[in-house]
Each structure stands twice: as C-alpha cells, then as structure tokens.
Amino acid sequence: MRVLVAVVGLGYPLLVYAGLLVFEPRVLVAIAGGLLLARGASGWRAWNRRDVRRVMMPVSLVAAVLAVAAILNDGRAFLFVPALVNGALLIGFGRSLVRGPSMIETYARLRHPEMPASRAPYLRTLTGMWCVVFAVNLTISLLLALYGTLEAWTLYNGILAYALIGSLLAAERVYRYWRFRGYHGDLLDPLFRRVFPPPAAGGPR
C-alpha cells in the first residue's frame, strides 16, 4: 500500500491528466477517496499522536480538494493539489528557518548524527534555497491551474518540475562533495572520492 501511494503521489499529474480524459471528476474522487481510506486503514494502528498531528494538514487539504471536485463535478479542483503541496512544504521549511534547526540539518542529522556543527550555516542556506524552489513551483502551478490548459499543467507538474528538482539535487550533491570532501559510506562515495580526494588527516572538514 505504501508503494502504491508513493507511485500515485509521484505520478499524480499524469494520472489526473489520463483520468480526466476518461472519467468524470466524481469518479476520480471516488477512486482517490478509496485509496486514502485504504492507506489509513492499513496504517492507523501503528500511528501515534505525533504521526496523526503531522498528517492532519495534508489530509485536510486533500479532503477539501476532493469535496470541491465532488460537489462541483469539476476536474480543475484536482489541478490545485501540486500548488497546495508546495505551499505546505514552503511553510514547513520556512518555519524551520525561524525556529531552528533548519529542515535540511534535521534530516541530515538523522543519517549522520556525528556531523560537525560547522555544517549548520550551509544547511540553513540550503533550506532557504529549497524555500525559493517551493515558492517558484507554487506560483507556476497555481497560475497553470487557474489559467493554463490541462496539457500545460501536466507538462510542468509531471515532467518539468521533477527535472528542475532532480537537477538541483544532483548539482548540490556534487558541490557538497567538492566543498566538504566528507564520505560516510553513501552509494556514490567511491566515485566522488576519486574525483574529490578527502582532506589530509587533521585538516578541515
């Protein structure tokens, strides 16, 4: 079920495009609602209060979209989901910049608890960069949902947005290896260790 939900999430724009060509919006609402209910039923026993609080906002947003689409029988309601997702990510990452630690630092320390404190400013800047990315995606997705064609909306949200994010992730990974020369057993470490040799023992990290 988790794999199915992940596939639907990643392929959402293409699935909406294909679905709206074949079904009326209320049928898509029924399918999406059934999938969400199945996911919730399969995992609710393992959730704690923190998990419930964390999923309340995205679940509420999705429920609102489904309700509007069902009431109006208008498929355009589905087009606002990517903008809502980027808005939620922008709020989450932005709040971490205010309250600290930054979102990227939190994620990084889950994998590498031994990471030196000197990395915090870089990770904070990186979190700010992703806030800009989410803001750009939010703006473009919202404008396409309001004024664009279904084809243009699908092209951007289903292909171009992923290409942008993938390019940024790859560029940041290369820059991080070049700047810090830190290797922690990741899959690409052997390759980049040859390209960017680690500093001598006792040197800066």
User: Residue 66 pLDDT more than 70?
Assistant: yes
How do residues 139-198 score in pLDDT, each as one tens digit? 999 999 999 999 999 999 999 999 999 999 999 888 887 887 776 667 777 777 777 787
Alpha helix ranges (H) inside the chain? 2-10, 12-22, 25-43, 49-72, 81-99, 103-111, 120-147, 150-155, 161-180, 189-195
**pTM confidence score:** 0.80
pLDDT for position 155? 95
Per DSSP, the residues of 85-96 read HHHHHHHHHHHH
pLDDT for position 137? 95
Average the pLDDT over 78-87 and give the result: 90
